[in-house]
Amino acid sequence: AQKVTQAQTEISVVEKEDVTLDCVYETRDTTYYLFWYKQPPSGELVFLIRRNSFDEQNEISGRYSWNFQKSTSSFNFTITASQVVDSAVYFCALRGFPSNTGKLIFGQGTTLQVKP
Amino acid sequence: DSGVTQTPKHLITATGQRVTLRCSPRSGDLSVYWYQQSLDQGLQFLIQYYNGEERAKGNILERFSAQQFPDLHSELNLSSLELGDSALYFCASSPYSASTGELFFGEGSRLTVL
């Protein structure tokens, strides 16, 4: 069975602090894809990143960075110098491969509140 | 803008009623997915259609049904509504049945059952 766990339900930080959102996954597939989505207060789901299981290089995009470690089945997300606009619910998701479906399995989400 | 359109954006109805949520996928996408987001259940996969046929089923209640039409738009029908069905219902699309890329989500339909 596939599972995604985001143990942090809510995180509150003050603007300009760095914050890391944890994601741990379970899958028996040797090939799989991991995703992060952002859900701002307006409610839509915004795609942030996709990573396949064969690419363990960390990725940086502006203030966002992702750390993928197969050894610990983790795909953590760090926001550097957080801003109020980063306040949102963040979801980690998993898809196994091969599969007859493209559905994503989501974690429960982490609510990030960035205070001014 | 993801290119996925969902209507209505908000819907308020009473217990026991039936509603239909509509989704138009991105141009060219053949797969449509339905997800339910409630406060205590997170984002739960309900069902996937690919080119008009059911492809995968998740934790979808028997009171719920869906279909995908020849023009590829999809409808999610919720009947005998209960208070617990109040949630945000998302539709997503992807090009293929088992795409490896991201899913593109609509803005959701917020259902309130009173």
Cα-based distances in Å from A48 to A34, A97, B71, B84: 11, 20, 29, 30
Is A44–B108 a contact, with Cβ atoms under 8 angstroms apart? yes
B50-107 pLDDT per residue, tens? 999 999 999 899 999 999 999 999 999 999 999 999 999 999 999 988 888 899 999 9
Residue pairs between chains A and B whose CB atoms are closer than 8 Å? 66
Task: Please name the amino acid found at residue B52.
Answer: G
Cβ contacts of B98 on chain A, cutoff 8 Å: 97-102
Assigned token pair, A80: 């550097």
Annotate A35-100 with three-state secondary structure: EEEEECCCCCCEEEEEEECCCCCCEEECCEEEEEEHHHCEEEEEECCCCHHHCEEEEEEEEEECCC
CA distance B78 to B112: 12
> What would the pLDDT profile of A27-51 be if each residue is shown by its tens digit?
999 899 999 999 999 999 999 999 9
CB contact under 8 A, A101 and B55: yes
Neighbours of B27 (CB within 10 A): 8
Between strands A31-39 and A46-52, the pairing is antiparallel
Pairing of the two strands B109-113 and B10-13: parallel
Q: Which pLDDT belongs to residue A58?
A: 87
- Count how many residues are written for chain B: 114
- In one letter, which amino acid is B59? N
